[in-house]
Amino acid sequence: MTSAPDSLPKPSIVPTPRVSWREAWAVYLQPRVLIVLLLGFSSGLPLALSGSTLLVWMRESGVDLGTIGLFALVGTPYTLKFIWAPLVDALHVPLFSRAFGRRRGWLVFSQLLLIGAILLLALTDPARSPLFVALGALLVAAMSATQDIVVDAFRVESLPESEQAAGMASYVAAYRIGMLVSTAGVLFLVSAFEDTGIGRSSAWMWGYVAMAAMVLIGTITALAATEPEQSARAEAATRGEAAFSRVMHAAMGAFSEFLARKYAWAALAFVVLYKLTDAFSGVMTAPFVIDLGFTRNDYAAIVKGVGLAATLVGGFAGGYMARRYSLAASLWIGGLLQALSNLAFCWLAFVGVNQWALAVAITAENFTGAIGTVIFVAYLSALCQNPLHTATQYALLTALAAVGRTYLSSGSGYVAEATGWPLFFVISVGVAVPSLILLAWLQRRGHFDELGPVRV
């Protein structure tokens, strides 16, 4: 093992001087930030295709709520991606890495595999073969998780300190837009195909085919981008090592460096629990709206319009908070907002079929969810300190965050069936309490101070 990697410059999030609002907005037009924005869209696009959009398709096909809730388990690759993240950090993809570089080669390769997985899922039928649907969704999640590994590393390594805030806000806003396109966009497309006389099953198939084509936006972006300078230096530092040695160095270095920190296990538990309240209610939002009596187009129109605006405003509001306040204070704001927003759906359950009420609930969910995600991304980015294993460390952290969405929320369908919708959303607010207790515990012990200056 060489000691050269320890001398590499470490990416960090440091204070930036106060600037005018024009200068602050100008940074969003920087080429690196625009690249990150488009890659954020590419990362957000496939998540709903194996999640909420698939659940609507299944519910319309007559699949019961218990089975729908269990389908959260197809997100398992998001929780295990840290296992193969060292391969992304250390190995080259034949032909692709030579042609495009260390990070960009993996980007193009993973996106082509993702397109194939989405097309395979498009050919399944939830009514006849839920098992094949699960396998197809599992493949989409695996390819999407691989793309996320590379995009996260590319984002952390490519943005200088002065562009970190704009990059995080743009990434999260575009990520949420990608999710909206693969939810509301697909629902609109399916309805449009049905209006032409195509059967429901075929309409859903062509909706997924269209989403596979949208992945090409990320592929074109990867081809237009340049390889991060930090990645190139890390590659040069390990050029003489054997492939197995590089993989072991990336894996062991990422884990040992993180676990050597004080209160590492408490921080990992906090990562698992922080977004759980959002995930617990989010898994069942689409089935709830359909059960309440809204049409597919009602839900899609509100998510596409009001939800998109709320997502954009929330993303940039989260970026402002991360810049204006300390990380701990920002995490408190985001954690409380995303938990309390679930009460809007509890209220909607009593109001019934009312488009204005649905718009209010969707606005609250998207606005607070975007704020919480931007701040959470800021925290995860501050924990990644070495470009040699950025992909592995960030994959570990985001995989742990996905544990809540994938496993801890998988029983939400059974909870909803047992309690009814109003009480279910009240319970989803209480799910946030453990993460807030951990946040207070870590703050009192100086965990966030030890990360260094984390205002962006």
Letter for the amino acid at 438? L
Tens digits of per-residue pLDDT, 246-297?
A: 677 766 766 777 777 788 889 989 998 998 888 888 778 878 888 888 877 7
Average pLDDT over residues 113-118: 96
Nearest of 451, 9, 6, 455 to residue 261 by alpha carbon = 451
**What are 455's two structure tokens?**
């205002």
| Residue pointed to by tokens 């590419």 | 42
Contacts for 3 with CB less than 8 Å, ≥ 6 apart? none
Question: pTM score, two decimals?
Answer: 0.69
Query: What does the pLDDT look like over 122-164, one tens digit per residue?
Result: 998 887 887 888 899 999 999 999 999 999 888 878 877 667 6
**Rounded distance between C-alpha atoms, residue 393 and residue 382, angstroms:** 11
State the DSSP code for 294.
Answer: -
Q: Which of 86-95, 225-234, 315-324 has maximum average pLDDT?
A: 86-95
Q: Who's near 403: CB < 8 A, 6+ residues apart?
A: 79, 272
Angle of helix 31-44 versus helix 164-180 axis, rounded to 10: 30
Looking at 29-43, 305-319, 400-414, which range is the least confident one? 400-414
Report how far residue 325's alpha carbon sits from residue 338's, in angstroms, rounded to the nearest whole number.
18
Please give the average per-residue pLDDT across 294-315, as a whole number. Answer: 77
Domains of the chain, each with CATH number or no CATH = 19-450 (1.20.1250.20)
